[in-house]
Structure 1
């Protein structure tokens, strides 16, 4: 009976050790599993645990594609339009609006060149640009250096014949009272029909020379033109084996006395004498397919994760929330200096951020909303958390 009690006691102690983030083994304290590490206290988002029980610092990257982590940011600061969903319910589709084939847009954001967004066949008599478009919300405001569009390889489809790329910082136009949609700026407009170019890079570094980037949150692609049933000319043999949905137009030509040819209807062609029947041209239908949309930025942004890391954002003389400073939304804001009228005290207008962990910082950017006052003059100070002799940072 005593022996069994001893075994039971050992199991209880072992269970308590596991819950505390370690395991007792003889004269050793062992930490060697994901379950152990997850019971330690650390700033969320700063560590990664391997399946083998290892632990490493979360990597902060330079030159990132901001479409790769859209869902992470939507879950971190969920827009009001998605407030009815729990963060874990959000998917990449929640970041997309589209006039055609909305379900397919995430395939142009998945990093796979073999998947793509292809607009659905348009309605006749309706402007193509009002149907073939989509918008991607990056989940936060970024300083973008370039936008890249990659179309599928030739055997898979065609590039867009004519299209525009527009961007928005997410704010509504000031000149339109009661506006409900963001204001967009055109950063690329293709004016010549395109049949062959499958890679487009939109350089944004000249848009704002001071920061060598363009501040944006939304990217819109609008297709303005298509060759529809005349995507690419093929031989009669190739045309015959195409699927019915890929068989495009067939053009018939009448041969003139001087050797030139003019296009005619099939009925007219059939009635022509053999010597006047000219060439016949066969076409595959256009297959407009965008494989990837990429938005390249300076790198991972640190400040937005402050509160999730259990850091703080505060202004000494205010109790108002400062979350609007770091949520990636230019339309949300905080007023940290409401009621502060003294210009004499050094710290009257101080904003303090504890990032929640230690970081090496490459650069700093400020973005002001279009309707908000700016900091006319300010000092930016950093600390590694070390204390001076008087206890201050």
Structure 2
């Protein structure tokens, strides 16, 4: 069996056409080819993508069908029963009156455990309400037989309320959040009622949408490890599912227990929600059905938005650190509230085995097993908040064009309110990696050796999984605007796209109407280029040569563009080692050169230019162009274009240890601010190197007593900077001029002296 993981082949006609072709995503069918965060994103009827809001204070009965719930039974008028949970008070359900007393019933299944503030029954205003009725609620606890086996489809209703002589058209049962557990089932039993009485709504007023539900289809994960830093018993996902499935009747279990002794054993549960939500409440449900227990003692609750520390580890925010109380244990669940914050990961860290306790009690596993252990049994973990997800990411399957194609333009349309961002990225590659997966007859993955030892009837299929290969590019930077040129290497056979919906305001979110990528036949199957020299001094104008060569089968090209963050200035062109007359045009990021003739396949083209480099790792990009196909361009890959040039790269570096502030010069050693336009001010020029993002450059002027007489600041990036001081209102004398900047790797300060004379 061959499984192409995320592989989307395109139709052959689109491949054979030499003209421009478009990959467009603007319908439910096309977006289904993507790995979408299920439940956090919706496809609109018009084919766009919108984020789904995490709601607070919900009626959990209305969307029970979304969780495979709904009406469980209705004693009569079954066709009307769904109207009691449709959110419309104008419709409802009533028994038809044929039932004997106590037999009329409407029972609903919410589909998941719902932490609830109250349950409200609403009756039609145009008729009397039920006069005598019962409301029963269940956590989903299964009824068991005399030997403890659960009875299929039968649950225990431990919460029961009877209403007598009722005349109210709206009846509310309030829940005690410190006592009452979540519920999943609600049963209404009318006992005495008018023939026209109608139950229009059963409202289950829940805390809100539980962000834990559906985390696996959303791209998240659940991980439980016992014995952190020691034995590292990784609990299988199948044993963890009970923690995140929304059912109180199931729970997380370990399957095995590490050996106990005099050393502590720590454990943790980490849930990746699959998206970054705005949360303010986490509920931990230990055992909260018939028997109640919270089997954690010393524990911490931490959250993370997925941000990384400089050492590459996750940054965690601690929301609780302490010991569970006796009341927590009696209740069986604990609520932790905190200030609303973006959360992608929730981590529960606890002491599974207390070694000091074991020593104090004299050791012995039987004597200490209860007092010194905290098994951390969990039925459910719930997370609540509100607003649109802060960060939603999705990516396409691998797009297979069948042969190398030149991706040229990325376009999209969407709504981007203030405080939100729509990020589109790409990556490309030339190959895929195959991996074999061996399964037994039950679909369980086994090793190749174990599969070989199975008798034929116990063997399952061998799947071939395909994923991106080692020649794939990293994800590109985000495209700045629709219509930008494709940023990833091309031509390539395979590509992948990524979309991010981001917001800093939980009340608004961006949306995407459509996305498309244009691709054309390549000007050359391969085109390689390299720059020389590859190391220069910061800020010094330097002459460079850029060599370009295409494969022998190329139809040729007649123009080249060179672009860089250090804008180059064209000097001259050579073809096959001979100088040629070429027309150059300055562009936003460099220049474009039109050659006097077409460069043949395999011919070496050299462009000479000058530039001053301020960033280590400055990349000079070259693009092939063809006047016969205006608008088409093809990126040149870094490679060995000329055997006489070392390096095979298009990246230029700076010497190791190069200063951030270099080549500092003062316009004059003596400032004479007397208004004659000669040395009236001090102008400082400095080359700023290796700043990847804007940083504050601070100019301070001190007198010889150390007093600041002038200070100014502005944000700068790598490059040549000029800053001035007018020196007015200060006494004649000698002053110290100080420039300082906080670089990406280190801070740096330089000082010079200057005299002021009137």
- What TM-score, normalized by structure 2, do the two folds share? 0.35
Match of 1:356 in 2: 274
- Is residue 83 of structure 2 the alignment partner of residue 167 of structure 1? no
Distance 1:172 1:50 in 2: 39
Match of 1:142 in 2: 114
Given the alignment, which residue of 268, 290, 304 partners 1:383?
Answer: 304
Larger-Rg structure: 2
Match of 2:88 in 1: 112
Distance 1:122 1:7 in 2: 66
Q: Structure 1 residues 172, 8: closer, same or farther in 2, change over 3 A?
A: closer
Distance 2:48 2:90 in 1: 34
How far did 1:45 drift? Answer: 2.2
Distance 1:70 1:339 in 2: 37
- Tell me the alpha carbon deviations over residues 213-232 of structure 1, each in whole angstroms, 9 at most, x when there is no partner: 54111111111223xxxx5x
Show the 5 A alignment for 1:204-353: 204=175, 206=176, 208-209=177-178, 214-226=181-193, 231=194, 286-316=195-225, 317-320=233-236, 321=238, 322-336=240-254, 338-342=256-260, 348-353=266-271
Match of 1:69 in 2: 63
How far did 1:13 drift? Answer: 5.5
Show the 5 A alignment for 1:76-87: none
Q: Structure 1 residues 41, 165: closer, same or farther in 2, change over 3 A?
A: same
Secondary structure at 1:113 match in 2: coil
Distance 2:78 2:261 in 1: 53
Q: Structure 1 residues 96, 140: closer, same or farther in 2, change over 3 A?
A: same
Distance 1:184 1:116 in 2: 24
- Tell me the alpha carbon deviations over residues 171-196 of structure 1, each in whole angstroms, 9 at most, x when there is no partner: 1357964463222134532122x3x4
Distance 1:296 1:107 in 2: 17
Secondary structure at 2:271 match in 1: strand
Secondary structure at 1:107 match in 2: helix
Secondary structure at 2:66 match in 1: helix
Match of 1:55 in 2: 49
Distance 1:388 1:358 in 2: 18
Q: Structure 1 residues 176, 143: closer, same or farther in 2, change over 3 A?
A: farther
**Greater helix content:** 1
Q: How many residues align?
A: 288
- Tell me the alpha carbon deviations over residues 301-348 of structure 1, each in whole angstroms, 9 at most, x when there is no partner: 011111111211112322422111011111112213731245788774
Distance 2:20 2:39 in 1: 30
- Is residue 173 of structure 2 the alignment partner of residue 202 of structure 1? yes
How far did 1:73 drift? Answer: 1.2
Distance 1:217 1:12 in 2: 58
Match of 2:77 in 1: 101
Secondary structure at 1:147 match in 2: strand
Q: Structure 1 residues 11, 121: closer, same or farther in 2, change over 3 A?
A: farther
How far did 1:40 drift? Answer: 4.6
Distance 1:110 1:41 in 2: 31
State the superposition RMSD in angstroms.
3.1
Q: Is residue 145–residue 214 contact of structure 1 (8 Å, CA) maintained in 2?
A: no
Match of 1:191 in 2: 164
How far did 1:118 drift? Answer: 1.1
How far did 1:374 drift? Answer: 2.3
Unaligned runs of 5+ in 2: 1-12, 226-232, 315-758
Q: Is residue 218–residue 274 contact of structure 2 (8 Å, CA) maintained in 1?
A: yes
Distance 2:201 2:15 in 1: 58
Distance 1:224 1:176 in 2: 31
Q: Is residue 285–residue 294 contact of structure 2 (8 Å, CA) maintained in 1?
A: no
How far did 1:138 drift? Answer: 0.3
Higher mean displacement: 36-45 or 293-302: 36-45
How far did 1:11 drift? Answer: 8.9
- What TM-score, normalized by structure 1, do the two folds share? 0.65
**Greater strand content:** 2
